[in-house]
């Protein structure tokens, strides 16, 4: 006949382990979502960087047209300096866009690592809680079901007719 305490212990242990496994699965899913978001942020950042460069090129084109319409040489003097500054600051803006996107992607990847660690910790904690549950109930099973904490003296063994026993 089964000990009801043992059955309840088994159910509690199972629920503890299942809970830890579910927490790990949720954390792993969150980590995968964060990794995908990081990859997406990099792709969007690349497009934003290209857009910034296109805006800079369009601005340089408008400036060159204005210089040309005013009769100024665009390859010398102030016109050339202004176009060079526009190119330089436009490139800096594009690099800032790329850097911001990369920083956001790295933060998402770090969050993914944190999620993975939380999942691993949840699983380990479930195992530890299960072990603690078993340890706390171990001595309370009673003698009717065979108390596992009760030790019995081993029976004496005899080897043949000589009567030799290792325990005597």
Is 120 inside a domain boundary?
A: yes
The residue range of the domain holding 61 is 11-162
Question: In 26-62, which positions are buried (b, 16+ CB within 10 angstroms) versus exposed (e)?
Answer: ebbebbeebbebbeebbeebeeebeebbeebeeebee
pTM: 0.68
Per-residue model confidence as pLDDT tens digits over 58-103: 999 999 999 999 999 989 999 999 999 999 999 999 999 999 999 9
- Give the count of domains, the chain: 1
Residue 160: pLDDT band (50, 70, 90) is: low
Gyration radius from the chain CA atoms = 37
Is 77 inside a domain boundary?
A: yes
Is 16 inside a domain boundary?
A: yes
Is 96 inside a domain boundary?
A: yes
Average pLDDT of every residue of the chain = 85
Is 27 inside a domain boundary?
A: yes
Is 152 inside a domain boundary?
A: yes
| Helices 77-137 + 4-69 axis angle, to 10 | 180
159: three-class secondary structure by DSSP: strand
What the block records as the tokens of 36 is: 């995908």
Per-residue model confidence as pLDDT tens digits over 4-44: 777 787 888 788 888 888 999 999 999 999 999 999 999 99
pLDDT at 53 (0 to 100): 98
Is residue 148 within 8 Å of residue 158, measured between CB atoms?
no
Per-residue model confidence as pLDDT tens digits over 105-137: 999 999 999 999 999 999 888 888 888 877 777
């Amino acid at each position: 006949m089964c000990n009801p305490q043992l059955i309840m212990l088994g159910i509690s242990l199972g629920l503890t382990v299942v809970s830890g496994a579910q927490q790990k699965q949720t954390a792993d899913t969150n980590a995968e979502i964060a990794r995908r978001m990081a990859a997406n942020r990099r792709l969007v950042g690349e497009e934003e960087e290209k857009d910034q460069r296109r805006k800079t090129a369009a601005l340089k084109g408008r400036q060159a047209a204005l210089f040309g319409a005013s009769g100024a040489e665009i390859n010398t003097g102030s016109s050339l300096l202004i176009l060079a500054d526009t190119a330089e600051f436009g490139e800096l803006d594009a690099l800032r866009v790329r850097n911001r996107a990369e920083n956001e992607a790295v933060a998402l990847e770090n969050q993914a690592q944190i999620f993975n660690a939380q999942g691993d910790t949840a699983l380990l904690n479930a195992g530890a809680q299960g072990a603690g549950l078993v340890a706390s109930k171990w001595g309370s099973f009673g003698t009717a079901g065979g108390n596992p904490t009760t030790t019995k003296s081993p029976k004496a063994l005899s080897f043949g007719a000589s009567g030799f026993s290792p325990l005597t």
